[in-house]
Structure 1
Amino acid sequence: MTWEWWEPGWSAERFALRQAYADPDRKSADGNYVYSDEDAVAVVRCTERGERRDIFLTARARNGGIPDADAMEKFIVAYRDEFLRSDPCADQ
């Protein structure tokens, strides 16, 4: 798991492909997260609260992990929900 501040306007899919070097083949209906058998990326939109940057969360299951897209989706959704509880946008 990693997270980082990033410039506004990027989608989870664009960040996954260009910055996280992930190759998601599935995405949520709202576009807040994308995932595959081994990777997942979610966005936390701090710019919607007037901040200058957004936060991107990246999860990877590699090097001996068992590829499982359903597990990656459940994990990134649960992690994003818990991450939001800490009010991360206030830390900018």
Structure 2
Amino acid sequence: MRPSDAARQLQYAVASQTDTYDYEISHWEANAYEDVFADVSERGSLSDVMDVVDELGARFVDGTRPSPEEAREIADGVLTAGGRPLADGGDGN
């Protein structure tokens, strides 16, 4: 899934929750989360991308949005099945 398509899915999820369409939200999402969606798409599956979209959408509350850093944490949690560290710095055990 292209990052722009994932951003559009997030826009639809947010719009359906708030019963509104907000161009500013969709534009902001496309820019703020593009790298996150691209990374998840490259390293994971379509299901992973949709899990990130769902989790981000659930965090759009009362006009607040997850920061790009929070989006990265969400993505890392999805990509590592429950938020395990991506690397432990150890010797590969």
Whether TM exceeds 0.5 here: the answer is no
Which category describes the TM-score, using the shorter chain as reference length? 0.3 to 0.5
Give the number of the structure whose residues are more often strand, by fraction. Answer: 1
Larger radius of gyration: 2
